[in-house]
Structures are given as C-alpha cells and as structure tokens.
Structure 1
Amino acid sequence: MARKKKDGVEGAPAEKKQRWYHNIRDAYRLTRRANPRIPWILLGVFVLVLGLALVVGFLWGHPWYMAFFGVLLGLVLDMVILARQTQKAGYAQIEGQPGAVGAALGTIRRGWTVEEQPVAINPRTQDLVFRLVGRPGIVLISEGPPHRAQRLLEDERKRVAWVAPNVPVHLIQSGREEGQVPLPQIVSRVQKLKGRLTTAEVAQVNKRLQALGGARMPIPKGVDPMRVRPDRKGMRGR
C-alpha cells in the first residue's frame, strides 16, 4: 500500500524546498558565468579581512578571539559582494530583451503599484511602456530607441492625464543611449522621486487608471535581478 504524502496525494513525490545554501550555490554559479574572477575576489577579501583581524588580535593579545571575528566578518563581506555581483549579472542577462524593465520593477520596494504587463506597445517595433504608481505620482518607463520611445511615452502621458489630470507624471526612458537610464539604475531612479501624494490619493489614482486598461499582449518574463534562479519557462518562450 502506497504511503500518503503530506500534500494529500497518494504516491506522489514530495516537492523539495530550496535550501539557503542552494541559493548561495546558484548565485555563485550565475555570477561566475558573468564574472570569472569572482572566486579570486571573494577569496582575496576573506584572506585580507582575516589577516587584518589576526594582526589586531596579536597586538591586542587576543588572537583567537579576533581570528573568529575575522572569519565571520570575511564571510559577511563575501556574501554582500556576491549579492551585488549576482544582481549585476542578472541585469546583464536580461538587458536589451523585451520586458526587461518589467522584470527590474519587480524588485522595487513597497509603496508602489506596478503593472505587470506593459500599458503601451508598438506591435511593429516592440517598443514598450511600463507604468507604476506611488506617492511621487505616475511613472512611465519606456523600452526602445529615444526617437521612438519619446513619442510612445507622450501618447501614454496624455492617456493618463485624461483620467488623472492633476497627478504628476514622470517619464523615464530605459536604455544606454544619451538621455536614457541604464536598466540597473531604473529602480534607484524611481525610488529617488519625491513623494507628493498621500496614501489615499495613490489608491484613488490606481482606481482611475484601471479604467484605461492597457496593452495586454503577453511578453516573456525575464530574470529577476534580485533572485538567483532565472525564469527558464520565460526564456524558452522567446
């Protein structure tokens, strides 16, 4: 007689949870593919921190205590470096692909309502516009060359101004050309905008914008730069 699993499905294998050290392993592998020097960087930082801690420990008269402290500090700094390098590698992997801005906006902090799908799209050129709403107002972010993206942004700005005429609208172009904001800097640029609306006003603006609808053409999801594992289904769909 087959055993019943915890999920109630008889004979079905239980799904294993991702362990924390598996996440670190995946982050290291992803980062190493983008930056082969990362092993030496992490090792160098760890050795340097441990060496400095031992020097201080011998001068202070407590070498073992400082050695333990140096190991912990070295590991913490390595984790910080690895996290930043993994984020950088994630951005590099999705930059230039349709929907990259949407994937990046998925990492934004609380206080923002982000549309998962683009609100405007040029079917011929595949230029996109994404929208999010927060206390600074409405933010429209484009993907595409400046000469095409600006027109798409302006058309969308007129649409949102029709239902929210007194709400600030910020236009941002994502890209590497002059006047554009590189993908890794998009989230920080949005978070630097000053708040002008109250929480109640933000909720009201969101309700009004729902009446506009948007471009519902599905696009592949990219890699979340703050996570290790890529969306393989989305990558296969491209």
Structure 2
Amino acid sequence: MAKRTDSDVTNATGGEQSGKKGIFKRRNKEGKADKKPGRMKQMRDVFQMTRRNDPSVVWLMLLAFLGITAVGLLIGLLIGNWITALIIALPLGLLAAMFILSRRAERAAFSQLDGQPGAAGAALSTLRRGWITEEQPAAVDPRSQDAVFRAIGRPGVVLVSEGPPHRVKRLIEGERKRLRRILPNVSIHVVQTGDAEGQVPLSKVSKRIQKLDKELTKQEVQQVNKRISSLGNRLPIPKGVDPFKARPDRKAARGR
C-alpha cells in the first residue's frame, strides 16, 4: 500500500478548506439574496405606486419642500443668519414632503383595494393601538361575498360591513343579535363601507371609528374579547383559508 506523503495531506486539507470556503461563500450569497429590501427601496416602491395612482403627488411634495425652504431662507435673511435657518429649513421641508407622500400613499392603497373582497378588513388593520381586530370576517355570505368584520376597543364592538346596504343588512343584524346575547351592556356600532349614501369610504373608516366615544376600560376590552372568543368562529373555514372562496355544501343541504 502506498504511503501518503505530507504533500498529499496538505493538498487534501487545502482542498477541503477551499471546498468549505466555497460552501461558505455560497451560503453568504444566498443569505444576502434572502435579505428583505432596504428602507430606501421600500420608499421608492411606495413613491412609484403613489405616483401611478396620484400623479399630482410629485408637485405637492416639491411645493411643500421648496415652500418651507424658501420661508426658512427668508427668515434667515431677515435675522442675518441665513445659513443656520437654511440648515433647519431643509430637513423640515423634507419632513413635510414625506408627510404628504404617506397620506397620498394611504389614499392610493385604499383606491386599489376599493371593490375587492376583504377591503373592509384591510381598513381595520390601520387602527391604532388599543384595538383588537381579526383577519377573518365575523360573518360572510359565500355567494355574494358580502362580509362583516369586527373590531373591539374602548368604544365597544364595531361591526364594519362590506357590500350593498340592502344586501348586507341581514348579516349585520344576525351578528348584532349574536353579540347581544353575551354582551347586553356593551355598545355595538355599525360602520358600512362604500361610496353610497350613509356609507363610509375605506380611507375614512379608521378615522370614523377613532371618533367614537370611549365607554370601556382596557381591562373590560380584554374581557369582552374573551367572551366573544368563547363563542368560537361560526364560519366553517380553517385558519389561513380565504373565506371568500368558501362555497355552501349542497350535498349536506339535501341530506346526503
């Protein structure tokens, strides 16, 4: 049997080490590829999406930035220290432009959601802290795709409907009666989304709910949530399944 020389051992060890380095390099490359997009890329995507739906956002942002910068520069010239005033005015102008972008981006996002199933649930997701919401609707009609979503907060329980008023009324009343059985002393508010008379546009749903008078404490909100959770979900829908793709079991209805 031939003996392994030192050079053979060195070559083998070097080959193993180079192979390991190659594996580590590939892993590093894959790790970099799996990283989430940076903040600048996210801002660019938001800006492009907003500009497609609202072309005037560019001019509004530019006007806000230049207007605040000009005012700051003018004040600096009057007090004889325009450099300091300009240093202060530039970030303020940028902040104003970003504020306009965020507001217009929210409008653009809601305009894309308008008319799509689940839009009311997306509107509830913009509520501030202190509210308990669910991704799944509290009640849904699989045929018409009308739905009622629920939010629990200090004003009580808020039912947000999605669909024509004359058609979704049955779902709202059914959910209201169901809640009254276990929450007789808790206020139940109804907000209907849409553009018809008496309805609230998606972009204003959050503001409308935030204006409701507070009646419960934080501890009472948790108690209300526990009572509602004890009822369970009436919808025969596994978690993670799109509720709007559910269909009634016709064989079960016929007794088969």
Whether the TM-score (by the shorter chain) exceeds 0.5 is: yes
Question: Contact 2:140/2:243 (CA < 8 Å) preserved in 1?
Answer: no
Is it true that 1:218 corresponds to 2:238 in the alignment? no
**Partner residue, 2:16:** none
What amino acid sits opposite 2:47 in the alignment? Y
Question: Contact 2:142/2:243 (CA < 8 Å) preserved in 1?
Answer: no
Residues 88-167 of structure 1: pairs in structure 2 closer than 5 A: 88-167=107-186
- Specify which of 206, 213, 220 is matched with residue 187 of structure 1: 206
Question: Contact 2:69/2:93 (CA < 8 Å) preserved in 1?
Answer: yes
1:24–1:11 distance in 2 versus 1, CA, 3 Å: closer
More helix by share: 2
1:121–1:51 distance in 2 versus 1, CA, 3 Å: same
Residues 42-61 of structure 1: pairs in structure 2 closer than 5 A: 42-61=61-80
Q: Which has the larger radius of gyration?
A: 2
Instruction: State how far apart, in whole Å, the 1-side matches of 2:200 and 2:27 are.
Output: 53
Q: Deviations over 1:22-74 (max 9, x none)?
A: 22211110110011122222222222222222222111111111122221111
Matched residue SS, 1:163: coil
Instruction: State how far apart, in whole Å, the 2-side matches of 1:213 and 1:130 are.
Output: 12
TM-score (norm 1): 0.84
**Partner residue, 1:235:** none
Is it true that 1:20 corresponds to 2:39 in the alignment? yes
1:11–1:70 distance in 2 versus 1, CA, 3 Å: closer
Q: Deviations over 1:108-160 (max 9, x none)?
A: 11111112101111122110000111121111110011111222101110011
In the TM superposition, residue 18 of structure 1 has moved relative to its aligned partner by 2.6
Ranges in structure 2 where 5+ consecutive residues have no aligned partner: 1-18, 245-256
What amino acid sits opposite 1:168 in the alignment? S
Ranges in structure 1 where 5+ consecutive residues have no aligned partner: 221-238
Instruction: State how far apart, in whole Å, the 1-side matches of 2:194 and 2:58 are.
Output: 30
- Specify which of 95, 98, 103 is matched with residue 79 of structure 1: 98
**Partner residue, 2:224:** 205
In the TM superposition, residue 17 of structure 1 has moved relative to its aligned partner by 3.0
After the TM superposition, list the runs of 4 or more consecutive aligned residues in structure 1 that deviate by more than 3 angstroms: 2-5, 9-12
Instruction: State how far apart, in whole Å, the 2-side matches of 1:94 and 1:128 are.
Output: 15
In the TM superposition, residue 11 of structure 1 has moved relative to its aligned partner by 6.7
Query: Cα RMSD over matched residues?
Result: 1.9
**Partner residue, 2:247:** none
Matched residue SS, 2:87: helix
1:163–1:76 distance in 2 versus 1, CA, 3 Å: same
1:25–1:12 distance in 2 versus 1, CA, 3 Å: closer
Larger deviation, residues 200-209 vs 101-110: 200-209
Query: Which has the bigger relative contact order, CA under 8 A and spacing at least 6?
Result: 1
What amino acid sits opposite 1:40 in the alignment? W
Instruction: State how far apart, in whole Å, the 2-side matches of 1:130 and 1:99 are.
Output: 9
Q: Deviations over 1:71-122 (max 9, x none)?
A: 1111111011111111111111101111001111112111111121011111
Question: Contact 1:91/1:183 (CA < 8 Å) preserved in 2?
Answer: yes
1:12–1:25 distance in 2 versus 1, CA, 3 Å: closer
Q: Deviations over 1:153-192 (max 9, x none)?
A: 0111001112222221111111111111111111111111
